[in-house]
Amino acid sequence: MPGLPGQAPGKAPRPPTPLDEALSGYLDHLAVERGLATNTLGAYRRDLRRYVDFLLHHHLDDPAQVSERDVTNFLAAIRTGEDGAAALSASSAARHVVAVRGFHRFLLLEGRTQIDPAGQVQPPSPPKRLPKAISLAAVESVLAAAGPPETPTGLRDRALLELLYGCGARISEAVGCAIDDLDLQAGLVRLRGKGDKERIVPIGSYAVAAVDAYLVRGRAALAVRGRGSPAVFLNARGGPLSRQSAWAVLAGAADRAGLAGRVSPHTLRHSFATHLLEGGADVRVVQELLGHASVTTTQLYTRVTADTLREVYVAAHPRALQA
């Protein structure tokens, strides 16, 4: 009989334990019923084999014997390498914990165990990384490379990029804007963020001018080819511009500006926030402008009035007013 997965070659094969058999059953479930890709299934197999080997080393050969403390001990061991393998980063350890939780949840649902010892074990949080941002000069070079201003699509591309940077919009928020969401006279735009939550934010005069130029000289030429879409940004056929096409617009401008591969829509969003903070904006105001409005976040930050948002924005954002 061949050795079990993870067993050192050359050693006499040991008989499978109930834990080994449970693992095999779960992997079969992932492959057959869940239809996981080969690479994904291989990752589950490696992560869970390390977990099972850890338990067997501690004389736990039946999943019914495993307690929550055993799972947390495994997490500690893979973070430090005390189980004899390489120590893992927080993100890699979190992946292992997710696999372990899925394994025990499967065994509980299948009636093979009476409790789920991993259900309350939380994966470690990876360290927060500072978002990537580019300089104001780099942003301006991308905006300047948006496209030929004499064409409808060139006007659209410049308006799109100015709006992304001018209010820190997510790409989905920008392409989701309808004509009725714009109040260019007041310098405001309504955005629909995650969870379909709406917020009204100011945009600077550069973005206002670019969007107005597109609406007057570009959008009408695109709209006649379509079926009357209310979307602000239209494609060459007159339909709503897709997220993928908006990405392509930015990628093309970044390439022409000599920044290929360095700029994404989120880069402009992070740069928007970074430049505001560098200009002296209060972090709570930036929070409101970005639309980070989850329950936990709104408990930590003070709500700010629309007038205060506009005042701080005009004072802090480098492209809020034309010189």
pLDDT in tens, 188-225: 999 998 777 899 999 999 999 999 999 999 999 999 99
Whether the per-residue pLDDT at 298 is higher than 70: the answer is no
19: its two tokens: 């834990």
256: its two tokens: 């022409």
pLDDT of residue 252: 95
Fold type of domain 18-109: DNA polymerase; domain 1 (1.10.150)
Helices then strands, each counted (H, E), the chain: 14, 3
Strand order of the β-sheet with 198-202 is: 182-183, 188-192, 198-202
- What is the second-level CATH architecture of the domain 136-316? Orthogonal Bundle (1.10)
pLDDT of residue 281: 79
Q: 96-150 pLDDT, tens per residue?
A: 999 999 999 999 999 999 999 999 998 887 665 555 788 899 999 999 999 888 8
Q: Which residue type sits at 273?
A: A
Whether the per-residue pLDDT at 17 is higher than 60: the answer is yes
pLDDT band at 278; cut points 50, 70, 90: confident
Average pLDDT over residues 157-171: 95
Q: Taking the CB of residue 242, how many other CB atoms lie within 10 A of it?
A: 13
pLDDT band at 279; cut points 50, 70, 90: confident
Domain ranges of the chain: 18-109, 136-316
Secondary structure (3-state) at 121 = coil
Average pLDDT over residues 37-61: 94
pLDDT of residue 90: 87
* DSSP structural state of residue 302: -
CA angle, 276 then 279 then 281, to 5°: 60
132: its two tokens: 């990537």
| Phi, psi angle pair for 197, to nearest 5° | -85, 135
16: its two tokens: 């499978």
Average pLDDT over residues 22-39: 92
pLDDT of residue 295: 33
pTM assigned to the model: 0.57
The residues assigned a catalytic role are 170, 194, 266, 269, 292, 301
